[in-house]
Structure 1
Amino acid sequence: MSLPDADRELVVAELGRDPTPAETVLFENLWSEHCAYRSSRPLLSAFSSEGDQVVVGPGDDAAVVRLPTYDADGNEVDSTDSAGETYVTLGIESHNHPSYVDPYDGAATGVGGIVRDTLSMGAYPIALADSLYFGGFDREHSRYLLEGVVEGIADYGNAIGVPTVAGSVEFHDGYEGNPLVNVACVGLLDEERLVTAEAQSAGNKLVLVGNATGRDGLGGASFASEDLAEDAETEDRPAVQVGDPYSEKLLIEANEELVDESLVESARDLGAAGLGGASSELVAKGGFGADIDLDRVHQREPNMSALEILLAESQERMCYEVRAENLPRVTEIAEKYDLGCSVIGEVAEGNYVCTKDGETVVDVPPEFLAEGAPMNDLDSVEPEQPDRDLPDAELEEAFEAVVGSPSTASKRWVYRQYDHEVGLRTAVRPGDDAAVMAIREAGAARSAAESSNGDSRETGAGLAISSGANPNWTTCAPYDGARAVALENATNLAAKGATPLAAVDCLNGGNPEKPEVYGGFRGIVDGLADMCRDLSVPVVGGNVSLYNDSVSGPIPPTPTLAAVGTKAGYDAPPAAFAGEGELLLVGESGGALGGSEFLARMGGSDAFPALPENASEVLTALAEVADREETLAVHDVSHGGLAVSLAEMVTAEAGADVTLGSLLTLFDETPGRAVVETTDAEAVREALDGVAPVTTLGAATTDGTLSLSVAGETVEYDAAAVSELRGALARELD
């Protein structure tokens, strides 16, 4: 590890002396791309993060938004009564490099980290969403990474009792040397439980609670800010943390008691840059300094140096600010859950100071350490749009290639390994457009059973969750592809009858020092920001992961969005045919196939499709249609186009007879559209009148067969054949 010369000169000028070894590594890690966003922060002002529902926006461990409250008739009511308001937290993070080096521990500790970000806001974690990106599925190494990552997520999430309910899995050659693991978490709390990462008062004690500090994860922040080397799987293994979900579960329960008893003044999860990062950022946000004795930190290994204690990213640890009179009770709770507890120092006026063996090893201005990194001024080149060069394709060949593609195939092999019902809140399970969580209680009660005793205030809110991105789209057109990613996630919410509430993003890119890479990254930032603004969705937090570059080249620019929406009640129309209604396509085609799975499988190129200019109106109308009694099924149209949407809706009991005019209509991936099965087609047309076109596709049937007639060609598949096409992952991995 080393501090770049230009940064060292700034540090020397500020301190008036050379930094100590411990200070040097602190600045290197806290000023790294991973922590300081040196290449991305100048772009992030494009996002709108404000709204009446926003309580805590970007900059804390997680964002906080108000949850609407509904009465028995489904009407939104004033939640500012004597019982107080209900909040949800949103957070997302990446664990990309660690998941390449060690897929199991890299993914598992990604889950643990985002859950602790939720805890630090005073919330109880209620749902996880993971968006995963791997190289070509036909490659053995990609399948090895997939299996390890899924096992790590499943083992950690299942053990801590937080359901994984949403997410996505994509395969693209650009991730061969650098997979992406983006994990989001949603938490629940009452307004009086809210905690932030801003220190409150000088003299309060700093308390470290959780596992002992070891030497694992040293330099993780700087490791995440570099391209992956060819020998990363062996050479960078010490930078990967090792998780302990059983300690995390104890920490979750201990945190619940600490917050319940108002023992916490502020809190920060120990993630990137370890204790040094968490404690310095906490006091800097409050405008304070700190006095810390590193010898007081409970340690797992003997003879640890100051550098190791400060920078280790050992998992399952939290830093709390606690008033002196509350220390005995905090210690008692930690002992109850068999967690380590160390009073390591206190909030102070002045500098951030750390001592070891009686000697001062760190003495720096906290704000300069936490926020003083200079921003990078990088060149960018805008990518060019491809020309139209569509292949000649037969209906049967194209349909089977697209529906059977690993990226569009069923992901049941993945989500069946996750416990998605623990907590008894999951009303719509994985495999649908969006998950829906039933928020029955107005606070952080840990299960529906605990809140069914009649003592809790009902909220009546369904919380819909969608997460993902499409690398084909953003490879073809970074700006328009990112706009489509935002629209697609919002359409998933609308298909379940929900109205968008807020979103967080995980912006993944390659080496920003390459102008063409930075140009693509700039495009996804602007595209995501513009569409979220058009949809009135505040982006309340997020994560940036750059230098996702390897000997295989840079990853596609990947703007994962995790969005939540709300609705009255918890019921939602299924994404499967009922077999009793007329089939309608709501929304307008963009008239192009650029970025489509059809072109990825069949060859050729095209411009990216045009997106609707009135997207917000379209989704509002679609959500209203989804909540109608006559609506039997709703499923969005996006990745793979109508071909995949119709295949996903087929069951053994219900199929469809559909007629289309062209292959373009079948494989167009323009988001903001949905297939609706209804017994009142006229009502759907009235709801969309003047907003978006409504096209008759055909009718649902009760024979479990999908019959497609496209420009004179006809193919027919029974439910078993469709299931076989969609089972590509399970066949290879089981």
Structure 2
Amino acid sequence: MTLDTVEHASSTPDHEQPWAELGLKPDEYERIREILGRRPTGAELAMYSVMWSEHCSYKSSKVHLRKFGELPQETPLGKTLAGIGENAGVIDIGQGYAVTFKVESHNHPSYIEPYQGAATGIGGIVRDILAMGARPVAVMDPLRFGPLDAPDTARVLPGIVAGVGGYGNCLGLPNIGGEVVFDETYVGNPLVNALCVGVLRHEDLHLAHATGTGNKVVLYGARTGGDGIGGVSVLASETFDAEGPSRRPAVQVGDPFMEKLLIECTLELFAAGVVNGIQDLGGAGLSCATSELASAGDGGMHVELSHVPLRDSTLSPEEILMSESQERMMAVVEPEHLAGFMDICDKWDVEAVVVGEVTDGDHLVIDWHGETVVDVPPRSVAHDGPVYERPYARPSWQDDLQADAAERLPRPATGEELREQFEQVLTSPNIADKSWVTKQYDRYVLGNTVLGEPDDAGMIRIDDETGLGVAISTDCNGRFAKLDPYAGAQLALAESYRNVAMSGALPLAVTDCLNFGSPEDPDVMWQFERATHGLKDACAELGIPVTGGNVSFYNQTGETPILPTPVVGVLGVMADVRQRIATGFRSDGAHVLLVGRATTDELSGSTWADVVHGHLGGLPPAVDLDAERRLADLMVHVAKEVIVESAHDLSDGGLAVAVAEAAFRHGIGVTLELDDPFADLFSETTGRALVVVAEENHEAFVSLAERFDVELSSIGRTGGDRIVVDGQFEVGVADLSDRWSVVLPAVLGTIDAQAR
């Protein structure tokens, strides 16, 4: 077969090409021909198809994401050192330290091949952090599945959890939090979002670019194989049909032990000062790394593709460029540093090969055995892809949905009915104990984990001497976002912000993973536009920047989209992790305080409405960002004073769930005196927390709450071995805890059985 060179493409303008099969639209293919002044070669077509995919180019979301760039980039502690457009956001946390963090999706690959899809999601986000010059120190995993008892969940959940744990555990990275949520809309389209946080000194920050004519382009790490051809770049850019898993070869295969070597090798390369820039090979593989490095540099690069080390010698140039094989990086190295670079790679047993060099031209030129198969302006591939202003409109069903308020639903008439519904909520899959999942993750490896599941936020120690640390939380309630996407995104931010503050950490910055259905559906695009607008407005009011993130579209099976799921991660700084605030009742006789906004009758979208009535309708709880800020300021201050025993935010399930989880933590009961037991237990009014204060600190805490203009009410005392709602019901802590803890194992089996 004739090699499709640039010369051949120029002389065969009418040659038919599989642009539609590669996901390109007719106008996109014509645009490529206009850019090149000829038809593309097969290799060029492969590059444009993956780089112009929805996953890589953000072509449907760019016009809406630009609003995040309008936000001030200062954090409450200083400046953003790197933000949107880089591999990951980097923020100053003081004492010369910076942290980099980001969350991304690996949804469709994880549906097709659950273990490898989830594992390589962790591997990819870790390399994004590594490329910034940071040492990865922790991961998190917000997950969404269909109903717990659905056959599809039984197929994907065990493999996804095993993949997250297997890869992260082998890397020696603690998993310090995340979410596990079940909903009918995720059947056939689970969400696997992965977050990583890394630590670096300010002077160690590196940005990826290819500058300096004559500098060498080095590919190092694992060999390139046939796994992951098209990978997330194609899989995440289309809607699945309802016929089940397919396209397994497109899912990458991970090797965490190779990645561990790659991490240590890369950090030593940075420390030795022998690299100008490093780019991870993630989505779109070599197509992405070469075009982005060249585009961010002086504009010229020459690559000899036949020098790329292969696991499969039969791969064509197109397949090599599209392969998303894992554990690979690309570096730009000055010739005088090349020997030192190679020595370090050899020390870590990491294969490294010079595949090209930076040129003084303005094109990316790729040869195959000496013949040119790619000759393109790199920006046209990496940055100047199509930008769509997709039509969007408020759905015709939105008004009826919002009019169907849960506040009208029947409520318990007796204390016995209230107890039954209390237990029903506590033993529902979304509220039940998630330790079946989290026990498969090493939460304490490296010895710096300060807080983890089931605390409100994960927390990692950064500096042993001073105790400096960071706290992170990820949150989203898709039911709220369905009812009102604008408010739903703000509520996701507010919950994550509140969780970080409950640990005593000062919230600093945001990363997001925006999971939605097809952008070609005006209803979905309306949800997306409203959610991004809501998130931007809320960040502006709270004074925190969005430093980066991810958009995942086409999350639907057939015509059924997922709940809009804008996952929001918030990172905060803790001056001294020894002053962190954990959850759970810790002693008898302590004051149980409801701190924050006054509880109102807000049940629409609530866990109670979902579990007891199978209902979704109405308006979500009102957002009060000023109240969230005041509550956060109070908790950050009281952490320094060390005057509270514990704190727990009120979110899914309201006070009922917060109280029960606090009792389960150490087996200590509580007696509550509530004015309106039903609404007080199940309302999901935001901006509230359950705070526990010992008798000797009660007066000081009340005084501080007044100083910070935060409302509070005393609702009970800890003690005994029962949860008592005065005048209504009581239930044994141990008995309810046992029933709460067996929900997942009863359906999924024991972890040991799954492993066998």
Category of TM-score, reference length = shorter chain: over 0.9
Task: Measure the CA separation in 2 of the matches of 1:143 and 1:386.
Answer: 35
Amino acid at match of 1:395: L
Q: 1:208 and 1:226, CA in 2 relative to 1: closer, same or farther beyond 3 A?
A: same
Deviation at 1:590, TM superposition (A): 5.0
Instruction: Give the match for residue 548 of structure 1.
Output: 555
Q: How does 1:122-521 map to 2 (within 5 A)?
A: 122-220=133-231, 221-231=233-243, 233-234=245-246, 236-348=247-359, 349-382=361-394, 383-384=398-399, 385-388=402-405, 389-393=408-412, 394-440=417-463, 458-521=465-528
Instruction: Give the match for residue 658 of structure 1.
Output: 672
Instruction: Give the match for residue 575 of structure 2.
Output: 568
Amino acid at match of 1:107: A
Task: Measure the CA separation in 2 of the matches of 1:730 and 1:624.
Answer: 40
Pick aligned residue for 1:618 from 628, 631, 638: 631
Deviation at 1:408, TM superposition (A): 1.2
Task: Measure the CA separation in 2 of the matches of 1:241 and 1:440.
Answer: 36
Deviation at 1:685, TM superposition (A): 2.8
Q: 1:89 and 1:631, CA in 2 relative to 1: closer, same or farther beyond 3 A?
A: same
Task: Measure the CA separation in 1 of the matches of 2:657 and 2:148.
Answer: 18
Pick aligned residue for 1:693 from 672, 688, 711: 711
Q: Does structure 1 residue 705 correspond to structure 2 residue 713?
A: no
Q: Does structure 1 residue 644 correspond to structure 2 residue 654?
A: no
Amino acid at match of 1:425: N
Q: Secondary structure at the match of 1:502?
A: strand
Structure 1 stretch 94-103 or stretch 673-682: which is displaced more?
673-682
* Contact in 2 for aligned 1:659/1:708 (Cα 8 Å): yes
Q: Secondary structure at the match of 1:631?
A: coil
Q: Does structure 1 residue 600 correspond to structure 2 residue 610?
A: yes
* Contact in 1 for aligned 2:538/2:625 (Cα 8 Å): no
Q: TM-score when scaled to structure 1?
A: 0.93
Amino acid at match of 1:214: G
Q: Secondary structure at the match of 1:186?
A: strand
CA displacement, residues 587-637 of structure 1 (integer Å, 9 cap, x when unaligned):
113531121110101224432111224121221113223443331111111
Q: Does structure 1 residue 582 correspond to structure 2 residue 605?
A: no
Q: TM-score when scaled to structure 2?
A: 0.90
Amino acid at match of 1:602: V
Pick aligned residue for 2:644 from 626, 631, 642: 631
Deviation at 1:205, TM superposition (A): 0.8
* Contact in 1 for aligned 2:622/2:686 (Cα 8 Å): no
* Contact in 2 for aligned 1:211/1:317 (Cα 8 Å): yes
Deviation at 1:249, TM superposition (A): 0.7
Deviation at 1:103, TM superposition (A): 0.6
Deviation at 1:390, TM superposition (A): 2.0
Amino acid at match of 2:671: D
Structure 1 stretch 257-266 or stretch 392-401: which is displaced more?
392-401
Q: How does 1:37-186 map to 2 (within 5 A)?
A: 37-47=58-68, 48=71, 50-51=73-74, 52-69=78-95, 85-186=96-197
Q: Secondary structure at the match of 2:577?
A: coil
Instruction: Give the match for residue 72 of structure 1.
Output: none
Q: 1:10 and 1:653, CA in 2 relative to 1: closer, same or farther beyond 3 A?
A: closer
Q: 1:552 and 1:407, CA in 2 relative to 1: closer, same or farther beyond 3 A?
A: farther
Task: Measure the CA separation in 2 of the matches of 1:505 and 1:46.
Answer: 14
Task: Measure the CA separation in 2 of the matches of 1:610 and 1:627.
Answer: 30
* Percent identity (aligned): 40
CA displacement, residues 244-279 of structure 1 (integer Å, 9 cap, x when unaligned):
011011101111211110111111110111111111
Q: In proportion to residue count, which structure has more helix?
A: 2
- Ranges in structure 2 where 5+ consecutive residues have no aligned partner: 1-20, 751-756
Deviation at 1:459, TM superposition (A): 4.6
Amino acid at match of 1:583: V
Task: Measure the CA separation in 1 of the matches of 2:729 and 2:618.
Answer: 25
Root mean square deviation, CA, Å:
1.6
Q: 1:531 and 1:590, CA in 2 relative to 1: closer, same or farther beyond 3 A?
A: farther
Q: Secondary structure at the match of 1:650?
A: helix
Structure 1 stretch 272-281 or stretch 370-379: which is displaced more?
370-379
Task: Measure the CA separation in 1 of the matches of 2:154 and 2:633.
Answer: 39
Task: Measure the CA separation in 1 of the matches of 2:569 and 2:225.
Answer: 33
Q: Secondary structure at the match of 2:270?
A: helix
- Ranges in structure 1 where 5+ consecutive residues have no aligned partner: 70-84, 442-457
Deviation at 1:240, TM superposition (A): 0.4
Q: 1:197 and 1:232, CA in 2 relative to 1: closer, same or farther beyond 3 A?
A: farther
Task: Measure the CA separation in 2 of the matches of 1:554 and 1:128.
Answer: 28
* Contact in 1 for aligned 2:138/2:174 (Cα 8 Å): yes
CA displacement, residues 274-310 of structure 1 (integer Å, 9 cap, x when unaligned):
1111111111012412100001101111132110111
Q: Secondary structure at the match of 2:240?
A: coil
Q: 1:469 and 1:193, CA in 2 relative to 1: closer, same or farther beyond 3 A?
A: same
Give the number of aligned pairs: 699
Task: Measure the CA separation in 2 of the matches of 1:104 and 1:232.
Answer: 16
* Contact in 2 for aligned 1:176/1:552 (Cα 8 Å): no
Amino acid at match of 1:727: V
Q: 1:687 and 1:695, CA in 2 relative to 1: closer, same or farther beyond 3 A?
A: same
Task: Measure the CA separation in 1 of the matches of 2:265 and 2:315.
Answer: 27
